[in-house]
Amino acid sequence: MVRFAAVAVESGNTRIPRAGTRVPTSHRKRPAKNRVTFVPPFAGASGRNPAPSELNRRHFLGALAAATVAAVGAARLVVDPQPRTFAETPVGDVATSGPTAPAALLPPPPLSARIPLPGGGALTTIPGEGDLLALTVDDGVNSEVVRAYTQFAKDTGVRLTYFVNGVYKSWTENLAMLRPLVDSGQIQLGNHTWSHPDLTGLSKDEVAEQITRNDEFLKNTYGIGAKPYWRPPYAKRNDDVDAVAADLGYTVPTLWSGSLSDSTLITEDYIVQMADQYFTPQAIVIGHLNHLPVTHVYPQLVEIIRDRNLRTVTLNDVFLKTP
Ligand SMILES: [Zn+2]
């Protein structure tokens, strides 16, 4: 159950502030004790979102650890190891049934509304005008985050596309919970390579191995084919990489138009600020299944989606499958 008390205050507010501006009060997490409050060195400093490519997570984490040690006194890092979900959020005074219950998210459009894939390069937005929002979340470094995101889907009906790196144990640890949602189509799985390398630094054989191994993992574990959707780690691709992927049936490099910027550890407030900026009609937004802060702001994300009357969709909700 969730605290939705602020919904009415923000109702109808579709203003999209620039990154770096203050988030409306109702979108800000109320102060809490014993929670991570880490001020990232880059958040808000330039007032711009980082470029639409994923930061090198592994390198960054090393730097982050060093920076954290160096920044004692400047940054406060108090770890709250428990992800929260709608089911687990402390109960307020909000009813969960009856006239004051939170409204469900809008359903996806009918299958008859699906459109052909545009082709001709990477997919970065949903073509045309409409009310669709494709939330795509990647990697799966943290099994608890995969579990919490999946619970978020169960609780709210939000439709999600996960771009999976099969190397992470989160994909087998959460199989029983996730499989029914994959089977129903509420959560779609895409291919993000087996172990998240920069594909432009690999031989063609190595690129093929990365894609094929992950493809087989998804088939063997979830019984689904992820083709034609794949996402290059760090958005790094070139003609050779695209050609290898296409030969394997992965013809749609799937990028994004906006990012929650949470491939690395950032604050809850910054994630909500990014959602406020990028949850727009026909957007494809990237997030990550790597760090806990996003699991603490699901109510705020839902509030933004609902205020703007957006329909969350998977890629298969939008596009006709091609051979
Ligand atoms: Zn990734």
Q: How far apart are CA 47 and CA 174, in angstroms?
A: 37
Q: Which residues pair with 311 in a beta bridge?
A: 132
Q: What separation in Å is there between the alpha carbon of 299 and the centre of ligand 1? A: 24
Query: Does the global pTM surpass 0.85?
Result: no
Looking at residue 129, what is its pLDDT?
95
Q: What separation in Å is there between the alpha carbon of 245 and the centre of ligand 1? A: 16
Q: What separation in Å is there between the alpha carbon of 138 and the centre of ligand 1? A: 5
Q: What separation in Å is there between the alpha carbon of 287 and the centre of ligand 1? A: 9
Q: How far apart are CA 126 and CA 282, in angstroms?
A: 5
**Any residues with CB less than 8 A from the CB of 22 and at least 6 apart, and which?**
none
Q: Any idea what DSSP says for residue 83?
A: -
Neighbours of ion ligand 1 (CB under 5 A): 138-139, 233
Looking at residue 119, what is its pLDDT?
83
Strands 252-253 and 311-312: unpaired
Q: What separation in Å is there between the alpha carbon of 263 and the centre of ligand 1? A: 7
Measured CA angle at 319 (ends 313, 323), to 5 deg: 140
Handedness of CA 173, 177, 181, 184 (dihedral sign): positive
48-68 pLDDT, tens digit per residue, is 444 444 444 444 444 444 444
Could you list the beta-strand ranges (E) of the chain. 132-139, 160-164, 187-191, 229-230, 252-253, 258-259, 283-288, 311-312
Could you tell me if 215 and 244 are in contact, meaning their C-beta atoms sit under 8 angstroms apart?
no
Q: What separation in Å is there between the alpha carbon of 306 and the centre of ligand 1? A: 27
Looking at residue 321, what is its pLDDT?
77
Cβ neighbours of 309 (radius 10 Å): 11
Residues of the chain with pLDDT below 50 are 1-101, 323
Q: How far apart are CA 181 and CA 187, in angstroms?
A: 6
Q: Any idea what DSSP says for residue 227?
A: T
Looking at residue 247, what is its pLDDT?
98
Q: How far apart are CA 307 and CA 7, in angstroms?
A: 8
* Angle (deg, nearest 10), helices 204-222 and 175-184: 90
Could you tell me if 108 and 312 are in contact, meaning their C-beta atoms sit under 8 angstroms apart?
yes
DSSP letters, 130-175, are SSEEEEEEEE---HHHHHHHHHHHHHH---EEEEE-TTSTHHHHTH
- Please report the domains of the chain, with CATH numbers, ordered by start residue: 26-103+120-318 (3.20.20.370)
Q: How far is CA 114 from CA 33, 63, 251, 270, 286, in A?
A: 46, 44, 18, 33, 22
Looking at residue 102, what is its pLDDT?
52
Supply 221's token pair: 């574990």
Q: What separation in Å is there between the alpha carbon of 164 and the centre of ligand 1? A: 8
Looking at residue 87, what is its pLDDT?
43
